[in-house]
Amino acid sequence: MKIVLQRVSQASVTIDNKVVADIQKGLLVLVGIEDLDNQEDINWLASKTVNIRIFGDENDVMNLSVKDTDGDVIVVSQFTLHAATKKGNRPSYIKASKPEIAIPLYENFVLQLEKELGKKVQTGVFGADMKVLLLNDGPVTIVIDSKNRE
């Protein structure tokens, strides 16, 4: 499972000209799921997402988490995080899970985030054509792969 965390001042997701998610200060989390992902990946990434210290404290040092700042979270599914680009110019998405595998894992990730964060997490709609608008704060963008725990 791969995620991209983006610290945002605001973010929203629009589908068919309707805003389905909208936050101010917090995290926009893009999630890519592959067939090898499991509950251990979900638990580890949810904990990492909620507790990673990328928000400024009173001295403007990145010492606080989204949980510490009572920030909000939007989660958006993004199969393109598993793009293989080694050969040619057309990415292959063969590693990305099909919806029947990915949707339950995605939903479970959102539930685990809510449990860890202690409040509702907003989402896009899995597989939909979404317009994601964000104001990246910093900018701060971090890529985390549960299969490469550094």
- Annotation marks residue 79 as catalytic: yes
- Annotation marks residue 14 as catalytic: no
Name the catalytic one among 79, 122, 123, 126.
Answer: 79
Q: Where are the alpha helices (DSSP H) in 1-150?
A: 39-51, 99-117
d(CA 6, CA 121): 15
Supply 90's token pair.
């057309």
d(CA 92, CA 103): 20
- Annotation marks residue 78 as catalytic: yes
Name the catalytic one among 78, 112, 122, 123.
Answer: 78
Bond preceding residue 139 cis, omega within 30 of 0:
yes
- Residues contacting residue 142 through CB under 8 Å, at least 6 positions apart: 4, 5, 52, 54
- 3 state DSSP class of 80: helix
Q: Which residues are catalytic?
A: 78-80
